[in-house]
Structure 1
């Protein structure tokens, strides 16, 4: 992997960083970046050493949307295949069995929003903005994930007007889970990644799977999905370590309280 690749992957201590790396183009999504994301998440999904994935970007923008320059001189077949490649990239992110957190900053436009929404949740710098201008670019996009995240009517308003949504509003409508100062975005991501990766891998993977599958059905079927996940955890046996850690923490807390009372 070269530092000039459109997608960089770095992993250490159970946390992988997937970095959009076209800063000169404001990380506009092109075909090589689509392939890079698909390949990266296929590898990370199969890597047992990885417990959490952070998606972030180099440069002043998370992603300025699709790279329309690469479509100059192309025919409809090429453009259609290029769109399919982007759908495959989003799906690879979404289907990753590891928790995936988007760390966004600056402009998040069109395809950048699709990448971020394909992650499990979004942490945004306080300078982040969101815009979905696809209809105004003469195409269709963000019609499915966006409405599932913020609701049908809000999605229509954003797509129809192409207005810029400030980060505070994005948090208020549920697009963003947390806002942090821009200078603290990477440190916050590192802390989140370490926390997530420290949990038992099977339990975390099954938790993600149970939420995703449960969101597609009613509560009764969702409970059955959760029970199946619980039974897999029981068969694995790692739950015993969680019980032992809890008991150890309680003993330490009681001993600390007793010492403080004695003083």
Structure 2
């Protein structure tokens, strides 16, 4: 697989599929993958035809963390550059205006968790496990997104102990939105993507933006953020299409009932 790009991108019918593609090393994150992931999501963000993005991993694992082998013989300047590249990759995923769904399976370790948490939500195979071993690898990582997802004390416990978190626990703590049988993960992801793609692109983008902006403020300011998004929808006029769809759905329901 060494001749293939570290990140694959496929587009069809408004759905983009981004695939981490270093299966021989369980998709360990290296510098080329960081750069490719960032470029892929910046490109998808600018593609008006793309309605939703599925992020998956090729091979037996979603992502087994950072590829520490690439750091052998490197100096502090290189490692610093590499870490900044990973932050930029996570941010590109997070900043994408399209809904981004992570489909994870197998071990999700360190940087793999950062990538998954940068998505809007995570759907996990029942074979998935999570682990955040950074302090045990002599480094620091996952200190910001993890605590925002599962809380400060739970994040500390995982980071300090390097224990494996089974997927039912991850779901219970809000890290995972849904658990599905491993053999159904791809099909389930396609179904979710097709459902999301039916919604108004503007309304989806504004909903995502309003939720993300509202996370860091109080309810009063959050309501103003939502009202600004509503005004944008009203100005665009696409809301009328939604009203028509609602009326058609109700008519069809009455016919069947």
TM-based fold match above 0.5: yes
> TM class, shorter-chain normalised?
over 0.9
Structure 2 residue matching 1:4: 3-state secondary structure = coil
TM-score by length of 2: 0.98
How far does residue 215 in structure 1 lie from its aligned partner after superposition?
0.6
Aligned partners of 1:250, 1:74: CA distance in 2, in Å? 63
Partner of 2:157: 157
Partner of 2:19: 19
Q: Does 1:86 align with 2:86?
A: yes
Partner of 1:113: 113
Partner of 2:220: 220
The structure having more radius of gyration, on CA atoms, is 1
Aligned partners of 1:154, 1:253: CA distance in 2, in Å? 45
Partner of 1:261: none
Aligned partners of 1:250, 1:151: CA distance in 2, in Å? 41
How far does residue 256 in structure 1 lie from its aligned partner after superposition?
2.6
Partner of 2:183: 183
Stretches of 4+ moved more than 2 A in 1? none
Structure 2 residue matching 1:225: 3-state secondary structure = helix
Aligned partners of 2:231, 2:110: CA distance in 1, in Å? 40
Structure 1 residue matching 2:251: 3-state secondary structure = helix
Partner of 1:148: 148
Aligned partners of 1:109, 1:152: CA distance in 2, in Å? 19
Partner of 2:245: 245
How far does residue 9 in structure 1 lie from its aligned partner after superposition?
0.3
Q: What residue ranges of structure 2 are gaps of 5+ in the alignment?
A: none
Deviations 1:197-255 (A, max 9, x none): 11110000000000000011100000000000001001111111111111112122222
TM-score by length of 1: 0.96
Partner of 2:208: 208
Aligned-residue CA RMSD (Å):
1.0
Aligned partners of 1:138, 1:190: CA distance in 2, in Å? 39
Number of residues paired by the alignment? 256
How far does residue 3 in structure 1 lie from its aligned partner after superposition?
7.5
Structure 2 residue matching 1:5: 3-state secondary structure = coil
**Matches of residues 90-105 of structure 1 in structure 2 within 5 Å?**
90-105=90-105
